[in-house]
Amino acid sequence: MGVATATRSFSAGIMQRYPLPDLLSIRLPLATLLLLPVLAPTVLPSSRLLSLAVTAAIFVIVANGLHVIFSYTGQLSLAHTALLGLGAYSAALFVIHYDVPTLALIPLAGAFGALGAIAIGIPAFRTAGFSFAIITFAFAEIMRLVANNWTDLTKGSIGLTVTQAPDSIGPMHLDPFNNLDNFYYFTLAFAYLSLLGIFFVRQSSLGRTFIAIRENEALAKSVGINVYLYKMIAFAISGFFAGAAGVFLLYHQRHIDAGQLSPFTAFTTIQYLLMILIGGRMSMLGPVLGAFVVVFGPEITNSIFGDVLTPNRIQMIFGAVLAMSVLTAPNGIAGQTREGFRTFVASLRGSRARGENIVAGFLIAFVSGVVPGLAQQRLNEAQPEEHGTR
The CATH number assigned to the domain holding 152 equals: 1.10.3470
Same domain, 213 and 92: yes
Say what the pLDDT of residue 390 is. 39
Q: For residue 225, tell me if it sits in a domain.
A: yes
| Low-confidence residues of the chain: pLDDT under 70 | 1-31, 306-307, 335-336, 338-390
Last residue of a domain, one of 280, 303, 326: 303
What is the average pLDDT value for the chain, to the nearest integer? 82
Same domain, 169 and 62: yes
Say what the pLDDT of residue 284 is. 82
Say what the pLDDT of residue 389 is. 42
Q: Comparing C-alpha atoms, which of 129, 116, 110 is closest to residue 70?
A: 129
Last residue of a domain, one of 287, 303, 319: 303
Say what the pLDDT of residue 7 is. 54
Same domain, 237 and 279: yes
Same domain, 277 and 362: no
Same domain, 378 and 268: no
Buried/exposed 239-249: b ≥16 CB within 10 Å, e otherwise: bbbbbbbbbbb
Query: Is there a contact between 269 and 81 (Cβ–Cβ < 8 Å)?
Result: yes
Q: For residue 33, tell me if it sits in a domain.
A: no
Same domain, 285 and 372: no
Same domain, 138 and 251: yes
Same domain, 224 and 360: no
Q: For residue 9, tell me if it sits in a domain.
A: no
Q: Which domain holds residue 203?
A: 46-303
Same domain, 247 and 356: no
Say what the pLDDT of residue 347 is. 64
Taking the C-alpha atoms of residue 115 and residue 232, their distance in angstroms, rounded to an integer, is 10
Same domain, 164 and 223: yes
Q: By CB neighbour count within 10 A (0-12 exposed, 13-18 middle, 19+ buried), where does 30 fall?
A: middle
Say how many domains are in the chain: 2
